[in-house]
Structure 1
Amino acid sequence: MTEQTPDQLTLVLEAALLTAVEPLSFGEMKKLLGDEWTNEQIRVLLIQLQQDWAGRSVELVQLASGWRFKTKAEFQPWLNRLNRETPAKYSRATLETLAIIVYRQPVTRSEIEEIRGVGVSGSIIHTLMARGWIETVGHRDVPGRPALLATTKKFLDDLNLRSLNELPPLTELVQVLSQESLPNV
């Protein structure tokens, strides 16, 4: 392969990001561009791409597991007309369980039950795991060795977040949940 200019490599990176199904990590981008590229050099190319795409209907964003292009929120209502699938609706119990895991992680099932004041159905945990939003990250060193549950990078990616620090404060979330009537699923 001949020596590529930074502009040509930016186009290669752009093509990879536009066609990737999942966000691309720095490791994947190094594999694409060459191991001699540092994370900082790749970051410079990514910032250039962000600037090149400014003012367009899509934007380049950094998420927990890497970088990807995403549609800007103001265009989503039009795109929803093409999507025949209805988004999953989760029960209040599922959302409460997820919120406890998000804000108290790592947490055991019995700790979730203690906070909620009711039992947690196995199907709720299964639903969140099947969605890829939570996982077992270890076991508490107590009798029975209960599983410790925590959120995944996929959870952050699906919410377009880089880290849990970008989530609203728990008090804000409680206020929203108390105002909404959620369907049972």
Structure 2
Amino acid sequence: MTTTETLNAGATAPLSLSEQERMVEAVLFASADPLSLRDIASRLPEGSDVAEALESLRARYESRGVQLTRVGDRWAFRTAADLAFLMKESTVEQRGLSRAATETLAIIAYHQPVTRTEIEEIRGVAVSRGTLDHLIELDWVRVGRRRQTPGRPVTFVVTENFLDHFGLESARDLPGLAELRAAGLLESRPPGDAGIPLQPDLDDDLIDEPSTEDLFEDE
């Protein structure tokens, strides 16, 4: 046997797409949390096309009771939205949101990254530290970067857990302004306000992230 034949005999045959799908499926089912493409790729054999396997797997599960869902830049299996009613009996709501927390969360989701002062201007009332603390404890809101403006105020943005809880792939999938008003979430907005944008306005003038202790020192 020649040297070339020996190398070829020892080479590992490339995995088929169906084999890669099975591996991705197994990794996602075994994980309690959504996984990024990089997380999944680190567990599959070298040379696997994880992105293609995910898209193929998502199409395969599209009409099933469990579907492959993208949450931000991560992936997870979730119950199909139209079957959510089957899970209601096993769902326990431990702590509801106050009106102030609901309005604050909606403003952060649509205007992120947004400062506390901007939240107060939109709501027309002061935002208590407890309201923001509660949203942060739920892991629905986190501290963003500081604005490169006088005082360098901190900003707030929603988390991937927020997107996952509400079944959203990204903030662009949030309901429209009319739907929020119909739900009574925007009644306190100033009459002259043009409304919440359908796509988050990501500023370019943001720099280093602050520590949690700095949250309320700058505004």
1:36 aligned partner = 47
Q: CA deviation at 1:86?
A: 2.1
Q: CA separation in 2, counterparts of 1:48 and 1:143?
A: 49
Q: Which amino acid is the alignment partner of residue 158 of structure 1?
A: H
1:81 aligned partner = 89
Deviations 1:48-84 (A, max 9, x none): 323433443111112213111111133322222234x
Query: Matches of residues 32-181 of structure 1 in structure 2 within 5 Å?
Result: 32-37=43-48, 41-83=49-91, 85-86=92-93, 88-177=95-184
Q: Which amino acid is the alignment partner of residue 42 of structure 2?
A: K
CA contact (8 A) 1:65 1:157 kept: no
Q: CA separation in 2, counterparts of 1:112 and 1:178?
A: 14
The structure with the larger Rg is 2
CA contact (8 A) 1:24 1:68 kept: yes
Compare the two structures and name the one with the higher helix fraction.
1
CA contact (8 A) 2:69 2:169 kept: no
Q: CA deviation at 1:26?
A: 0.9
Alignment coverage as a number of residue pairs: 176
Q: CA separation in 1, counterparts of 2:150 and 2:16?
A: 60
1:183 aligned partner = none
* SS of equivalent to 2:183: helix
Q: CA deviation at 1:95?
A: 0.9
Query: CA RMSD of the aligned region, Å?
Result: 2.5
Please tell me whether residue 13 in structure 1 is matched to residue 24 in structure 2: yes
Gaps of 5+ in 1: 181-185
Q: Which amino acid is the alignment partner of residue 152 of structure 1?
A: T
* SS of equivalent to 1:177: coil
Identity of aligned residues (%): 35
* SS of equivalent to 1:34: coil
